Amino acid sequence: MKALRNLKKYKYKGVPFSAWLYRIASNEVNRYYQQSKRKLVFCFQETEFENLIEQHIEPEEKLDIDDVIRQMHSLCESDIKVLELRFFESKSFAEIAFITDVTEANAKMRTYRAIEKLRKLLKGGKDDKI
């Protein structure tokens, strides 16, 4: 409903219309959780985790999906969000930038920093919040 009410305000900014819709939905979900003070939950398919592991974890490192899931819980919400957008929703850096309201370079930097944090957690096996 919010998107329909604000359709006249939409301006093309070089990213797909779906990114504009995603931003509205994401803001509404965040608003809901802030108001209810509930913790956000992430849900992914096993094949998506396998793709993340194959692309960014060294082959000699023996990891299973349970390790990745366990350590993802240690990441902060913003890190989880960029990883979710990039690897589990296959968004481009331009779309991630638009959705998170940052520059494309910043979206790329946040994504690679989140990957590096996850890699360090997986190597060290610690459960500290980052």
40, two tokens: 């956000």
pLDDT reading at 118 higher than 70: yes
pLDDT reading at 83 higher than 70: yes
Whole-number average pLDDT of the chain = 78
How far apart are alpha carbons 76 and 87 in whole angstroms?
17
Measured in residues, the chain has a length of 130
pLDDT reading at 126 higher than 60: no
Neighbours of 28 (CB within 10 A): 13
pLDDT at position 43 is 57
pLDDT reading at 120 higher than 80: yes
pLDDT at position 67 is 76
Residue 130, helix vs strand vs coil = coil
Residue 45 region, left (φ>0) first, then alpha (ψ -120 to 50), else beta? beta
How far apart are alpha carbons 108 and 78 in whole angstroms?
13
pLDDT reading at 82 higher than 70: yes
How far apart are alpha carbons 3 and 32 in whole angstroms?
16
Tokens 């979710």 correspond to 84
- Mind listing the domains of the chain with CATH numbers? 43-130 (1.10.10.10)
Q: What is the pLDDT of residues 18-59, one digit of tens each?
A: 888 888 888 888 777 666 655 555 555 666 666 666 666 665
pLDDT at position 130 is 45
Percentage of the chain beyond pLDDT 90 is: 17
pLDDT at position 30 is 76
14, two tokens: 């070089």
User: Mean pLDDT over residues 67-82, rounded?
Assistant: 84
